[in-house]
Amino acid sequence: MAEPMKMRATVSGDVADVKVLMNHPMETGLRKDAKTGQLIPAHFINEVTATLNGKPVLAAQWGGGISKNPYLGFKVKGAKAGDKVVVSWKDNKGESNTAEATIS
């Protein structure tokens, strides 16, 4: 998917608050097209990872039950201003996307 993710990371003390908005259709494979009546094929994010300065801090496996354009928020302890957070996802069709932000 060519659409960029929106990402923000702020720090309070030694805890970073990371917020990510991912652009993805998140189809379950159970919904029918209103015009044709045919099932819309499954297309959803199934793997999400996050790193802080290259070290893994989050690994998640998702399924088709997540809403369209999912929002992910998480906190990371031990972070400081200037650190780099990278969030990546892969979907069931092999597509992927990555975003990075510098903690402020």
Per-residue pLDDT tens over the stretch 4-48: 899 999 999 999 999 999 999 999 999 999 999 999 999 999 999
Q: What is the pLDDT of residue 3?
A: 81
Q: Would you state the pLDDT for residue 70?
A: 97
Nearest to 95 by CA among 32, 14, 8, 2: 2
CATH superfamily to which 6-102 belongs: Immunoglobulins (2.60.40.10)
Which pLDDT does position 2 carry in this prediction? 52
Mean pLDDT of 64-80: 96
SS (H, E, C) the chain: CCCCCEEEEEEECCEEEEEEECCCCCECCCCECCCCCCECCCECEEEEEEEECCEEEEEECCCCCCCCCCEEEEEEECCCCCCEEEEEEEECCCCEEEEEEECC
Domain ranges of the chain: 6-102
Q: How confident is the model at residue 1 (pLDDT cuts 50, 70, 90)?
A: very low
Nearest C-alpha neighbor of 15 from the set 87, 101, 83: 83
At residue 39, the pLDDT reads 96
Report the pLDDT averaged over residues 77-88: 97
C-alpha torsion sign, points 59, 63, 67, 68: positive
Mean pLDDT of the chain, nearest integer: 96
